[in-house]
Structure 1
Amino acid sequence: MRRFNARILEYSNAEKLKKELEKVKVDWEGLQVMLPKGFFRALKLEGVNYEAAHILKQEMLRLGGEGAISAAVYFGAASPTDVILIGTLAQLEALINSLRQFPDDTLKAVAQEVEEALKNYQRENLKPMQIGKKTFVWGERTYIMGIINVTPDSFSGDGLAGNVEEAVAQAIRFVEEGADILDIGGESTRPGSQPISEEEELSRVMPVLRRLVKEVDVPISIDTYKARVAREAIEAGASMVNDVWGLRMDPDMAKVVAEYNVPVVVMHNRSHPKNAVQEARLGGRYVGVEYQDLMADIVRELEYSIGLALDAGVDFEKIIVDPGIGFGKTVEQNLEILRRLGELKVLGRPILLGTSRKSVIGYVLNLPPNERVEGTAATVALGIAAGADIVRVHDVKAMARVAKMADAIVRGAFREG
């Protein structure tokens, strides 16, 4: 029998570690010192000049951490290098303070960026967001976005083009089942689908939207990359724009979002016909899409979309990011994104995750779209554990239950009833 009951503590945030320290009856001042020492971080910087890289390495070693730089630079090459800073939160905070004492502007910039990355990752800067009449408090629980496809060619087989009554009935049912937002889309985004005109898209979404603003009390999002469609939808009562092209396809989209001061989802998307290979049996997947560094590229490209929004006058607090599962990624890349979803927290924005019924699930389980509920549930639960704030789903009733259970475990958000 073990004498001291030695065990490894698992905790995901400072509050949980604080509770463990309080059980030991640590004094208050000691607790403040110990908390930052209880979190390990590995933080990557790209393209640092060789002089700054050497100083970063030396400072981290001095503080008891580590700084990884390229071997060439370590042995004297005068070229830029990526740097990985490895240490506790306390060591990284000490590094920030140290770098600010140097006269070098590069080191001061590194200090600023490292500090911002750490705060964003710890979600210190996330403020509540008003979407329509509803306030979304990030971190309290996961929000459910119900998908209303008014298309004839949805990959998931749930398209309701031309059937206004059925679309409205589905939306009302989704709200009853726990949807916090309804996302209406009139153009299919499945691999190989053909674009449609603004007139055709409006003819599909507007009759449903006009009915729903009178019949449901949750915010309605318009799923479009066309500025005119977004404008008319907002005028009719939509409260948010969900742009699968991250404001890159239509140069006027960001201006419309700013003009109406509505929240916007910017999604990462590398879809392009020359990169897409169709496979009809399970709905298609992307093969051979090249990334230099998958997560680094996604973060960089989402930052570009955020920049487009900010340049147009969109409030930073109105932006939500989406890694774009299935959009210009292979099955293996989609799985890697799900494993590393938490890395998107560095952007400092709420994260929307859309995995529902997608081909990555179909390929793993070898199942068609209408049999992917369990696979979707796995991605939703693990996505919440990794930091997803909104999950966009077809099967609202089941996924609302999954999210509630995952929230109870991950966030401690147990709600009776």
Structure 2
Amino acid sequence: MGIRVYSIIAENMEEAHRLIASVGADRAGCDWMAPKAVHRLVMLDGVRPEQANIIKQEMLAKGGEAAVSRGVVDHSVAETRVLLMGTLRQYGAFLAKLKCQPFGLAALAGRIKEVLDGQEGYRPYDLDCRGKTLRLGERTLVMGILNVTPDSFSDGGRFCEPGQALERAWQMVSEGADIIDVGGESTRPGYIPVEAGEELARVVPVLKRLAAEIPVPLSIDTTKASVARQAMEAGAHIINDQWALRADPGLAAVAAEYGAPLVMMHNQNGTRYRDLTGDMVEYFQESIAAAEKAGVDRAKIIVDPGFGFGKTPEQNLEMLRRLKELRCLGRPILVGTSRKSTIGKVLDLPVDQRVEGTAATVAVAIVNGADIVRVHDVKEMARVVKMTDAIIRGNTGAV
């Protein structure tokens, strides 16, 4: 048939290096050409016309492109979105020029670079969980859900007693859980908030029992700094905050004091968004900045897009489709879809029949960049994780 012609995709510099090297190029050639092989789209929102005109001019001059509102040229619009399009090589030259421009564009150049760097992902590293270690970035980790509440939507009341909780935790570990997430307050639709004292009465006895025997890190699922502090004293290793410091900013100081990794989930009242990913990225950037200001090591911050929180079913599914866009934060991503109502609505199935639907969402989340998945059905989802990792990460084990 002669010369074969087919498409190739390089999602980051590492893949670009590998592909260029595969044709026989030397290392210097790979270094020079790789930035030309990776194309990025970056959206800027809230750009003034005088800024947009300079941005478009400079991006075009470097061989890239910038889409702006038609009203930018004659200043008939007060603000515009700007969609930047270019290779990493073009962005490098563009940002160098942007740093020399007025109207706050020098600072904007730094923010664009942060987003581009975040999209490259992070190298695998050991996450210190107060003496226990999790390896992030090599395989997808499984967080097993252990609700010690009487009213959780899926397993309320089943594991409230410390002995029952310990038995369930051991079962999840044997099935492949890398983390056990302990929660003492239900967040199901229509839940009734509980006082810190009641939440502590539920989680502390369980945490003490688990900390003495369970080998994997324990996460405390709470929005209260007072609960997180007592949980740390009881032996918890990770703080999982479903309001990303919005409910209680003091959680950041507790995480910093105890050296605990901090999971921050996107959440909001209502389901209105200007742009789903854009709003979420801004939310996380603010939370990450607040956490770092309180002394939390950036390497210990994990983000959770909040499937089922502040989103319609359609928005939940859109979030999964666009999950890769959160990579620009440069932080590990945790996704919790297990048995959620969106799955029930799509499949028209009750909570106890959503394993297959959960499996689909877990697989898609991993494909799109999830590093940790939070699940009820550990045995089944650990298998889904292993198979998906074999496809996406090349973790084939004994194959």
1:262 aligns to what SS in structure 2?
coil
Amino acid at match of 1:376: T
Q: Are 1:60 and 2:59 an aligned pair?
A: yes
Structural mapping, 1:139-150, within 5 Å: 139-150=137-148
Select 2:206's aligned residue among 208, 217, 231.
Answer: 208
The 4+ residue runs of structure 1 with deviation greater than 6 A are none
Match of residue 299 from structure 1: 281
Q: Are 1:221 and 2:219 an aligned pair?
A: yes
- Larger mean Cα displacement after TM superposition, 156-165 or 217-226: 156-165
Alpha-carbon contact 1:42-1:85 (below 8 Å) kept: yes
CA distance in 2, matches of 1:17, 1:255: 40
Amino acid at match of 1:38: A
- Larger mean Cα displacement after TM superposition, 29-38 or 154-163: 154-163
Alpha-carbon contact 2:223-2:242 (below 8 Å) kept: yes
Amino-acid identity (%): 52
Alpha-carbon contact 1:148-1:182 (below 8 Å) kept: yes
Q: Cα gap change, 1:377/1:159 in structure 2, threshold over 3 Å: closer, same or farther?
A: farther
The offset of 1:103, in angstroms, is 4.6
1:112 aligns to what SS in structure 2?
helix
- Larger mean Cα displacement after TM superposition, 122-131 or 25-34: 122-131
Amino acid at match of 2:239: V
- Larger mean Cα displacement after TM superposition, 129-138 or 48-57: 129-138
Match of residue 118 from structure 2: 120
Alpha-carbon contact 1:126-1:348 (below 8 Å) kept: no
Match of residue 93 from structure 2: 94
Match of residue 377 from structure 2: 395
Q: Cα gap change, 1:22/1:252 in structure 2, threshold over 3 Å: closer, same or farther?
A: closer
Match of residue 105 from structure 2: 107
Select 2:300's aligned residue among 302, 318, 331.
Answer: 318
Alpha-carbon contact 1:126-1:350 (below 8 Å) kept: no
CA distance in 2, matches of 1:99, 1:384: 35
Alpha-carbon contact 2:10-2:38 (below 8 Å) kept: no
Q: Are 1:380 and 2:362 an aligned pair?
A: yes
Alpha-carbon contact 1:66-1:86 (below 8 Å) kept: yes
Q: Are 1:32 and 2:14 an aligned pair?
A: no
Amino acid at match of 2:226: R
CA distance in 1, matches of 2:266, 2:15: 33
Structural mapping, 1:2-401, within 5 Å: 2-77=1-76, 79-100=78-99, 102-104=100-102, 106-124=104-122, 127-157=125-155, 159-271=157-269, 275=270, 289-401=271-383
Alpha-carbon contact 1:161-1:204 (below 8 Å) kept: no
Alpha-carbon contact 1:130-1:136 (below 8 Å) kept: yes
The offset of 1:294, in angstroms, is 1.3
Amino acid at match of 1:267: M
1:279-325, Cα deviation, whole Å (9 max, x unpaired): xxxxxxxxxx2112111111111222223322322222221111111
Runs of at least 5 residues in structure 1 that lack an aligned partner in the other structure: 276-288
1:313-363, Cα deviation, whole Å (9 max, x unpaired): 222222111111101110000001000011111122111100011111111
Alpha-carbon contact 2:176-2:382 (below 8 Å) kept: yes
2:309 aligns to what SS in structure 1?
coil
The offset of 1:125, in angstroms, is 7.2
Q: Alignment RMSD, CA only?
A: 1.8
Amino acid at match of 2:360: A
Amino acid at match of 1:181: I
Match of residue 406 from structure 1: 388
CA distance in 2, matches of 1:253, 1:363: 34
CA distance in 1, matches of 2:150, 2:2: 67
Amino acid at match of 1:290: R
CA distance in 2, matches of 1:105, 1:387: 35
- Larger mean Cα displacement after TM superposition, 380-389 or 25-34: 25-34
CA distance in 2, matches of 1:256, 1:408: 37
CA distance in 2, matches of 1:130, 1:155: 32
CA distance in 1, matches of 2:273, 2:134: 34
2:104 aligns to what SS in structure 1?
helix
CA distance in 1, matches of 2:138, 2:132: 14
1:93-135, Cα deviation, whole Å (9 max, x unpaired): 22112223x2526221122111111111112477542113333
- Equivalenced residues, count: 399
CA distance in 1, matches of 2:65, 2:15: 26
CA distance in 2, matches of 1:182, 1:105: 49
Amino acid at match of 1:146: G
- Larger mean Cα displacement after TM superposition, 171-180 or 13-22: 13-22
Q: Cα gap change, 1:105/1:412 in structure 2, threshold over 3 Å: closer, same or farther?
A: farther
Match of residue 286 from structure 1: none
Give the structure-1-normalised TM-score.
0.91
CA distance in 2, matches of 1:396, 1:41: 36
Amino acid at match of 2:56: K
Amino acid at match of 1:70: S
CA distance in 1, matches of 2:22, 2:256: 49
CA distance in 2, matches of 1:409, 1:133: 32
CA distance in 1, matches of 2:324, 2:216: 28
Amino acid at match of 1:382: V
The offset of 1:211, in angstroms, is 0.8
